[in-house]
């Protein structure tokens, strides 16, 4: 990660280990190695690395993971406030772009 | 639509694509990175052939953003494979997955639309790992019978991934954000503010003519050009220098990183007497450069690969009011300094 870690203790990631079937899918889809498997169950090992992308929640067949996913983008959040919607990446009209 | 990379057709109807970039592809990559007509480079969604694929050949899924498509086809050089291009409105895989266009629904739609089960005799599709933000593997399986195998994050690892029996190493699964990665993103960051790059300097140029005796065009010219130069430095500091040096600047909050680099730039400018002679003008510039650089650095959160929504919201709660306050005070102090100086 070459020192690039964001704020501590803010992410909304939760894992319900009771529901976990040990399929490892969360360890596959997570881009920041937040999960590991211990005793055939998923555990959160690097919570502060989580960027709330939501890939784990989406690919957990047992619905054991929950996270308030969204764009970690200041412009997107301002956009959401101005339009009264959720934070959104669509910061531009037709013909231009954002990310 | 772009079609210059097509080299023929397979089974009569499926277009075959080149795995080698032409000079035109390289030129278009540069243009896209500089945000020139970025959204004009879409690929027609559907199925494409790489090499001479057969029924048993692997199926790779990608987005219809030209940069994504180009990197995948180049990475598939010397392979026989199918490439299934989803309609993501010309947006890359990760962003499209976040926006919901690179989605479970769209993958199901394309699998059915192209009749994938008639083209291949296996039931596997290889989806880039970052597509997992929008695609639910078990939903795809349930609805189409196809298993989703998540490939590496970067297209350049595809060969190694295939040789390892469709297994990605931990290294291939991790998103990195190296100095080089950030450097490639600077052009688009700089180009983002183009709307304001004329307007704001113009306002400063005009206001620079104000003084105690009324208005002076000479003054507008002299002080105005100096102001425009200072603003440009603040702009480059916020959305160019700060992102490049991100890993080495202290603080976790981007707004603080930007404030620090902004003030460093202001110190250098002050040292060389660019910020004027009067104390009030110098203070006004510190406030304005600091807030501008801080704000621009904060917007870089949207480009990074590691900032969370909760984190950015937390940071903005204190940063935005501070930035607005500083900028407002700065502008007032700057105008006041015009009337105090002789």
By the CB < 8 Å criterion, does A21 face chain B? no
Closest residue, chain A, to B133 (C-alpha): A55
As beta bridge partners, residue B211 has B214
* DSSP 8-class letter at B37: S
Pick among B154, B181, B306 to test the A interface (most A CBs inside 10 A):
B306
Chain B residues in contact with A8 by the CB 8 A cut-off are: 252
Looking at residue B11, its pLDDT comes to 67
**For B257-267, what is each residue's pLDDT tens digit?**
999 999 999 99
Q: How close does chain B come to A48, measured CA to CA in Å?
A: 9
pLDDT surpassing 60 at residue A96: no
Residue to substitute from B311, B316, B320, B321, interface A, most A β-carbons within 10 A: B311
CATH number of B6-173: 3.40.50.11600
Predicted pLDDT at B220: 86
A–B interface: beta-carbon pairs under 8 A: 146
In this model, does residue A48 exceed pLDDT 80? yes
Whether the Cβ atoms of residue B127 and residue B135 lie closer than 8 Å to each other:
yes
Task: State the pLDDT confidence band at A91, using cuts at 50, 70 and 90.
Answer: very low
Exposure class string for B307-339: b at 16+ Cβ within 10 A, else e: bbbbbbbbbbeebbebbeebbeebbebbeebbe
Interchain pair A28, B173: CB under 8 A: yes
Q: Quickly count: other Cβ atoms within 10 Å of residue B214's Cβ.
A: 7
> What is the interface pTM, i.e. ipTM, of the complex?
0.85
Domain boundaries, chain B: 6-173, 179-340
Q: Chain B closest CA to A90's CA: distance in Å?
A: 8
CB contact under 8 A, A6 and B247: no
pLDDT reported for residue B213: 83
Segment B130-144, tens digit of pLDDT: 999 999 999 999 999
Please state, in angstroms and as integers, the Cα–Cα distance from residue B114 to each residue in A49, B46, B290, following that order: 39, 7, 54
B245: three-class secondary structure by DSSP:
helix
User: Concatenated DSSP letters for B273-326?
Assistant: TTT-SSHHHHHHHHHHHHHHHHHHHHHGGGT-SS--HHHHHHHHHHHHHHHHHH
Mean pLDDT of A6-23: 94
pLDDT at B74 over 80: yes
The pLDDT of residue B16 is 86
Is B316 close to A74, i.e. CB distance below 8 A?
A: yes
B91 touches chain A (CB under 8 A): yes
Radius of gyration of chain B from its Cα atoms, rounded to whole angstroms = 26
* Cα of B181 to nearest chain A Cα, Å: 13
Q: Categorize the per-residue pLDDT at B279 as very low, low, confident or very high, splitting at 50, 70 and 90.
A: very high
pLDDT of residue B193: 77
Interface test with A, best of B308, B317, B324 (most A CBs within 10 A): B308
pLDDT band at B339 (very low <50, low <70, confident <90, very high): confident
How many percent of chain B have pLDDT more than 70? 96
pLDDT on residue A68? 93
Domains of chain A: 14-83 (3.30.70.20)
């Amino acid at each position: 990660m070459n020192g690039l870690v964001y704020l501590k203790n803010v992410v909304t990631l939760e894992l319900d280990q009771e529901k976990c079937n040990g399929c490892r899918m969360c360890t596959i889809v997570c881009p920041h190695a937040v999960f590991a498997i211990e005793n055939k169950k998923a555990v959160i090992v690097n919570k502060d690395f989580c960027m709330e992308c939501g890939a784990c929640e989406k690919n957990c067949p047992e619905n054991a993971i929950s996270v308030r996913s969204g764009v970690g983008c200041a412009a997107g959040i301002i956009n959401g406030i101005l339009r009264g919607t959720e934070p959104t990446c669509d910061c531009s009209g037709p013909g231009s772009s954002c990310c | 639509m772009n079609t210059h990379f097509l080299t023929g057709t397979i089974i009569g109807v499926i277009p075959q694509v080149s795995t080698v970039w032409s000079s035109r592809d390289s030129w278009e990559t540069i243009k896209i990175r500089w945000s020139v007509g970025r959204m004009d480079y879409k690929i027609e969604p559907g199925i494409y052939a790489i090499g001479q694929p057969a029924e048993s050949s692997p199926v790779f899924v990608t987005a219809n953003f030209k940069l994504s498509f180009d990197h995948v086809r180049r990475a598939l050089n010397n392979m026989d494979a199918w490439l299934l291009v989803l309609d993501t409105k010309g947006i890359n895989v990760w962003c499209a997955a976040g926006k919901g266009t690179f989605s479970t629904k769209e993958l199901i739609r394309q699998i059915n639309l192209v009749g994938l089960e008639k083209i291949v005799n296996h039931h596997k599709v290889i989806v880039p790992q970052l597509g997992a933000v929008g695609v639910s593997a078990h939903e795809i399986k349930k609805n189409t019978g196809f298993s989703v195998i998540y490939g590496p994050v970067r297209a350049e690892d595809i060969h190694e991934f295939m040789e390892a029996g469709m297994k990605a190493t931990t290294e291939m699964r991790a998103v990195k954000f190296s100095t080089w990665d950030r450097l490639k993103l600077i052009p688009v960051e700089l180009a983002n503010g183009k709307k304001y790059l004329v307007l704001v300097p113009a306002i400063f140029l005009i206001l620079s003519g104000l003084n105690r005796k009324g208005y002076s065009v000479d003054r507008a010219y002299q002080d105005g050009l100096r102001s425009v130069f200072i603003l440009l430095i603040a702009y480059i500091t916020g959305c160019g220098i700060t992102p490049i040096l991100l890993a080495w600047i202290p603080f976790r909050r981007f707004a603080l990183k930007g404030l620090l680099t902004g003030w460093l730039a202001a110190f250098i400018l002050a040292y060389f007497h660019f910020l004027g002679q009067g104390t009030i003008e110098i203070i006004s510039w510190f406030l304005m450069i600091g807030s501008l650089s801080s704000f621009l650095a904060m917007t870089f959160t949207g480009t990074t690969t590691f900032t969370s929504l909760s984190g950015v919201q937390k940071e903005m709660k204190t940063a935005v009011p501070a930035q607005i306050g500083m900028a407002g005070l700065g502008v007032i102090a700057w105008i006041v300094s015009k009337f105090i100086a002789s």
